[in-house]
Amino acid sequence: MDHQNSPIDFYFDPCSPYAYFAATGIEALAARHGRTVRWRPVSLLALFKASGTTPAPMVPLRGPYVIHDVARTAQLHGIPYRKPVNFPQLLLAAPRAMLWIEDAYGAAQTATFAKRCFSAYFVEGVDLAQDEEVVRLAQEQGVDGARLRIALQGTAIKEALKTAGEEAIARGVFGVPFMIVDDEPFWGFDRFDQLERWLEKAAATQAAA
């Protein structure tokens, strides 16, 4: 099968700092290899339930390490980062809004909004658990805030995120960031190097064919 131009499916939840780190570089990585990115918001809660795991920051001993590692990773990679006041925190309005925006405005707008949410939460200290903050950020991107506000109160948007999670789980996604390209799965920001090498190998194989 010809995978030369197939996109990278990028699964993320805006509550994850490692997904934020990945989001700052995934598009540049893809572009270096002639690929595009499909931004696929999901809820980590659904993934945790399916895999029977607990959020790392809430695990004894491991939690303090993760908090330290997140700050260190940001520093080593030169990525702006400020620990959110209520971290870790379940965020549902933001990924739901992303799915609604994709349906109403297209995938490109979703990517722009997702990146804005990440910077707002992990750099500016915006509380994305508040619907009104999510609406405000969306309005900055030209989204109809009144329509989004109504959508966030409905059931359709909740079902959309649930379905997105079920589809991700069916593909083997159990955490974020999770990248799938050419049917090959990569989990974690620390797998970016492997993802890059995989794409290089795929390009070389394609060129030799």
Give the helix/strand (H/E) hosting 139.
helix 131-140
The single residue of 6, 16, 43, 51 carrying the catalytic annotation is 16
Which residue in the block uniquely carries the two structure tokens 């959020």?
Answer: 55
58 part of a folded domain: yes
The reply to whether 16 belongs to the active site is: yes
1 part of a folded domain: no
8 A C-beta contact, residue 63 and residue 56: yes
Is 156 or 87 the better-scoring residue by pLDDT?
156
75 part of a folded domain: yes
Domain that holds residue 30: 8-208
Question: Can you name the residues that pair with 40 across neighbouring β-strands?
Answer: 11
- Convert the pLDDT of each residue in 26-74 to its tens digit: 999 999 999 999 999 999 999 999 888 777 777 777 889 999 999 999 9
User: How many alpha carbons lie under 13 Å from residue 183 in its C-beta half-sphere?
Assistant: 3
pTM, full prediction: 0.94
Instruction: State the DSSP code for 6.
Output: P
91 part of a folded domain: yes
188 part of a folded domain: yes
Task: Write down the mean pLDDT value for the chain.
Answer: 94
φ, ψ at 37 (rounded to 5°): -120, 135
Is 59 or 78 the better-scoring residue by pLDDT?
78
pLDDT exceeds 60 at position 2: no
Give the model's pLDDT for residue 62.
82
Please report, for the domain that includes residue 58, its CATH number: 3.40.30.10
pLDDT exceeds 90 at position 206: no
- Convert the pLDDT of each residue in 113-133 to its tens digit: 999 999 999 999 999 999 999
**CB neighbour burial string for 85-124, b if at least 16 within 10 angstroms, e if fewer:** eeebeebbbbbbbbbbbbeebebebbbbbbbbbbbbbbee
2 part of a folded domain: no
Q: How many separate domains does the chain show?
A: 1
Q: How many CB atoms lie within 10 A of CB 50?
A: 15
pLDDT exceeds 70 at position 177: yes
Averaged over 191-206, what is the pLDDT?
A: 92
pLDDT exceeds 60 at position 3: no
